Structure 1
Amino acid sequence: MSRTRMTLAASAAALVALAAAGCAPQPQSTPEAAGSKDAPRCTTDHPSLHKRGQLTVATDSPAYEPWFDSNTPSNGKGFESAVAYAVAEKLGFERDQVKWVVEPFAHSYAPGPKPFDFDINQISITPQRAKAVDFSTSYYTANQAVLALDGSPFAKAGSLGALKDARIGVQVATTSYQAVLDQIKPSKQPSVFSTTKDEVTALRNGQIDAIVTDLPTVFYLAGAELENGEIVGQFGYAGGTPEKFGLLLPKNSGYTSCVDRALDALRADGTLAGLTTQWLSASANVPELKR
């Protein structure tokens, strides 16, 4: 389930100071846009919030591990749930001021109004999607990965070329489809499924030989959904650069810079790195597949 990056030119120390002044839980904070005295401040009653005094966060359902735990985003467990609450804290929200809503993945970056402040759902930052929505700075860099069944002739593929004749399944509206076409260059058109569950069913039933999706999701599927799942390997994709996930906000949201500041502060103080290690550490041990 894969998903243009904006950065602030400041030192780590300056970022931490900025976050403490602008996004920490204080009644007053720095202006949303640096140098603009009239810009709204990053407080919990910001006029761009979907509902003032509340942070409305969206994700899809079901919400899979390791991004979430027990399909319960509100429990703070799983990488994306933990990131969402860390961002909320930097923005000044108490835990009970965070409200979760369901937003199907393919709907999240469609043009139009949004019933949330940001969506966190392994959404890759792409120029095409950014025409209709805002993206925060990246909170995670993800590789694509390949999952097959133990005993399959493709389970021990040591290169992307060795997967050329595999029947590959991907989820609809994800970047995995284009990644398969550009990197694996399969002889057969990839099969597209509505959900990850549908992909798993097709793999079990022999309709496809392998699934391609983001690496942490492959870990979950291999560990929890398939008794005989085999992680073949991982590969990078996004125009030759790593694929980055961002928080998705309504187009031209006045709250985007506030969310960016919160993420920059979490990156500067080591929180993001800590959460990545806590929830996604197994990703480092998967072999890299090349042509």
Structure 2
Amino acid sequence: MPDKVHPFRTFVLAALAAVSVGVAAQAQDTGTPDDARLVNPGMLTVGTSDPVYPPWMMNDDPASGEGFESALIYALADEMGFAADQVQWVRQTFEQIIAPGDKPFDFAINQVSVTPARAEVMGFSQVYYQSDKAVIALPGSPVIGAASFDDLRSARWGAAIGTTDLAYLETVMGVADVAVYDDQVGVFQAMQAGQIDATVAAVPTALFATAVQIPEASIVAILPPDAADEGHGLIFEQGSPLIPWVDAALSSLIAAGTVQELVETWLVADPDLPIITE
């Protein structure tokens, strides 16, 4: 996407590309498909959730190669020397994926944000994606046409408890009184009932939500990513010896522009949406 549309995403990916060559040069640990460190030598075993959703993976089929994370895995596998039929998928709940302990996969991909707390019990690759935030609202909402955070703060906001969306509203936007719900479905129901004016979500989540979950709503503005959210990383058992190998391959994809191309293919919103930065 052109820089003027999403400067924050462009900045993040450019920064990753700038360091990727150095990371790859330092990572001497490589491997082959029959590497004994793999859970199943001869195969690259990748975890993800059940079900999976667009635009991350399409038609609840991680093996399709369709959707950002599915396509990224097959590009990564190719970079590591695996053929497409040497990639096998393990489906788990999100809670199982992020739990400490032994894993039935080499690594997992599931839009998991890298956080210090999680890094204490699991391993992470470098960040492969950091999303802008999207404002989701129904027609007639007072947030439509807003040009600043000050304009947005006067609206009634809602978010699901324990989410980065709630933290964003409170700490980045400075909304004093956010209505809190048990889950995102509850947030959308409150919006439909006229109890709140808007919510925020990562752009890919917002794309799915406005296409499937609440199609009468739309994305009305793009906001900068949360600096406290380091972005999404691949998940490993803590201390996994595979991390340098996978990181080197991921660095090569970033440097080659492959990740940027996948972002532009799968994770973009309307280029004409307004961008609110402060």
**Superposition TM-score tier, normalisation by shorter sequence:** 0.7 to 0.9
Alignment-derived partner of residue 277 in structure 1: 264
- Structure 1 alignment gaps of length 5 or more: 19-31
Alignment-derived partner of residue 64 in structure 1: 53
Distance in 1, matches of 2:32 and 2:170, equals: 44
Deviation string, structure 1 residues 158-179 (Cα, Å, up to 9, x no partner)? 3333333545443555422221
Q: Which has the higher helix share?
A: 2
Alignment-derived partner of residue 257 in structure 1: 244
2:234 is aligned, of 236, 247, 272, to 247
Secondary structure (helix, strand or coil) at the match of 2:250 reads: helix
Secondary structure (helix, strand or coil) at the match of 2:59 reads: coil
Question: What's the offset of the Cα at 1:48?
Answer: 3.0
2:75 is aligned, of 55, 78, 86, to 86
Alignment-derived partner of residue 218 in structure 2: 230
Q: Is contact 1:66-1:220 (8 Å) kept?
A: yes
Question: What's the offset of the Cα at 1:79?
Answer: 0.8
88-97 vs 160-169, which moves further: 160-169
Deviation string, structure 1 residues 229-266 (Cα, Å, up to 9, x no partner)? 121322224336x7422111111111111111111111
Identity of aligned residues (%): 36
- Structure 2 alignment gaps of length 5 or more: 1-14
Alignment-derived partner of residue 84 in structure 2: 95
Question: Quick one: which amino acid aligns to residue 32 of structure 2?
Answer: T
In structure 2, do the counterparts of structure 1 residues 56 and 210 end up closer, same or farther at CA, with 3 Å as the change threshold?
Answer: farther
Residue 220 of structure 1 pairs with residue 208 of structure 2: yes
Deviation string, structure 1 residues 154-198 (Cα, Å, up to 9, x no partner)? 34433333333545443555422221210122232442444x445
Question: What's the offset of the Cα at 1:6?
Answer: 9.1
In structure 2, do the counterparts of structure 1 residues 200 and 89 end up closer, same or farther at CA, with 3 Å as the change threshold?
Answer: farther
Question: Quick one: which amino acid aligns to residue 269 of structure 2?
Answer: A
Secondary structure (helix, strand or coil) at the match of 2:99 reads: coil
Distance in 2, matches of 1:122 and 1:11, equals: 24
Question: What's the offset of the Cα at 1:109?
Answer: 2.8
TM-score, with length taken from structure 2:
0.81
Distance in 2, matches of 1:58 and 1:220, equals: 21
58-67 vs 71-80, which moves further: 58-67
Deviation string, structure 1 residues 8-32 (Cα, Å, up to 9, x no partner)? 96748x95xx7xxxxxxxxxxxxx9
Q: Is contact 2:132-2:202 (8 Å) kept?
A: yes
Alignment-derived partner of residue 93 in structure 2: 104
Q: Is contact 1:215-1:283 (8 Å) kept?
A: no
Deviation string, structure 1 residues 262-281 (Cα, Å, up to 9, x no partner)? 11111222222221222224
252-261 vs 212-221, which moves further: 212-221
Question: What's the offset of the Cα at 1:134?
Answer: 1.4
TM-score, with length taken from structure 1:
0.77
Q: Is contact 1:148-1:230 (8 Å) kept?
A: yes
Distance in 1, matches of 2:160 and 2:104, equals: 24
167-176 vs 248-257, which moves further: 167-176
Distance in 2, matches of 1:288 and 1:60, equals: 32
Instruction: For 1:1-291, list aligned pairs within 5 A.
Output: 11=21, 15=24, 34=28, 41-164=30-153, 166-171=155-160, 173-194=162-183, 196-239=184-227, 243-282=230-269, 284-291=271-278
Deviation string, structure 1 residues 114-145 (Cα, Å, up to 9, x no partner)? 22222212222222221111111222221122
Deviation string, structure 1 residues 83-138 (Cα, Å, up to 9, x no partner)? 01111111222222222222333443332222222221222222222111111122
In structure 2, do the counterparts of structure 1 residues 73 and 190 end up closer, same or farther at CA, with 3 Å as the change threshold?
Answer: farther
Alignment-derived partner of residue 6 in structure 2: none
